Structure formats: structure tokens, C-alpha cells
Amino acid sequence: MNLRVAKMTAWQVFVILIIGFLLTSSFWTGPPMIVYPAKIFGYLIIVGYKFLIGWELYRMIGSKWIFNFNLFIINSIIIGIGWPLIMVLTNYRGLSFNIQNGIPLLYFAFAFLHTHALPMKMLVSIEENRKVNFGAYFGELLLLTIWPIGVWFIQPRLNKITS
């Protein structure tokens, strides 16, 4: 089994995610042909980390427990492609919440939470050797959502279960 992201140290992941964060930050100015691809690349770094954690944990679990991994892949694609597409099409102004785009934005919020929740559910399930409920992995979900701090707590646990 070739698990790469799960074996990285916390500082390595932190540096990679900080690079992604800096690329997506709003201080960038310049021609849109340079700024937009850089912001999209940074966003894909951040989303890709969460997807790769989920992918590697799902490979570790195998058929031990049943998780809706296909929905995780679909939601990761929606998050990975949808947000950059919206930003480019609206010239980085974003969308307002109204009747026309309310349901897609609500699903986008669900997809965002699901791409964060499933890897943490699998992590806690592996650690406790049982399928866990929402309350058992809620703290880890918050840690992954606030990733600059959370990566220092989550990555060592990933290292521990992959060793």
C-alpha cells in the first residue's frame, strides 16, 4: 500500500497548505491570466489534501465498514471544480444567495461539509475499530475545517494509523 499524504509530517502538510492558502489569498494583484490560475491552483491544493486523506483512509479500510465513498468522490469533484468555475465566471465576486441559485449553493455547502466529514469519520472509525456516529468525529471535523491549526493534531494521528 503506497500511502503518501498520510505519511507526511505535520510541518510538511502545513507548508503545502500555507502555499495553497497564500495562492488563494486576496492580496494578489496583476493580470487575470496569471492571478486566476494561481488562485485556482492554490484552492485545488487545499481541496486535494482533504480528498487524498479520504482516498487513503478508504483504501486502508477496504470492505471492513461501508461508507458512501462514491458520494465523497462526486462531492470532491463538485467542490474542486465548482468553486473555481463560479469564481472565474463571476470575476471573483461570488454568488449571492437568492431563489435562482439557492438550491445549488445549499448543495455546495453540503458537499463542502461532506468532503470534510467523511475522512474524519473514517479516521476515528479506524482508531476506535468501529463505525462511529457524528458526535464521535465532530471535533476532528472542526480541526480539519480550521486546517492551519487542525493539521498539527490530525496529521500525527494519520501517521500513527499508517505506521
The pLDDT tens digits for 17-43 are 888 888 888 777 778 788 888 888 888
- Look at residue 91 and give its three-state secondary structure: coil
Give the model's pLDDT for residue 74: 92
Give the model's pLDDT for residue 1: 43
Give the model's pLDDT for residue 84: 79
Query: Per-residue pLDDT for the chain (163 aa), expressed as one digit of tens each?
Result: 455 887 888 888 888 888 888 888 877 777 878 888 888 888 888 888 888 888 888 888 877 777 788 899 999 999 888 877 777 777 666 666 666 667 777 888 899 888 888 888 888 888 888 888 888 888 888 888 887 788 888 888 888 888 7
What is the 3 state secondary structure string of 26-39? CCCCCCHHHHHHHH
CA separation (Å) from 51 to 79, 129, 137, 144, 149?
10, 22, 17, 12, 18
Q: Give dist(CA 81, CA 128) in Å, integer.
A: 34
Q: Which domain holds residue 85?
A: 5-162
**What pTM was estimated for this model as a whole?**
0.80
Give me 58's grid cell: 478508504
Give the model's pLDDT for residue 6: 77
Q: Give dist(CA 113, CA 72) in Å, integer.
A: 10
Give the model's pLDDT for residue 82: 82
Kind and range of the H or E element at 44?
Answer: helix 32-61
- pLDDT tens sequence across 131-146: 888 888 888 888 888 8
Residue 131 exposed, middle or buried by CB count within 10 Å (0-12, 13-18, 19+): middle
How far from each other are the two terminal CA atoms of the chain, in whole angstroms? 11
The domain total for the chain is: 1
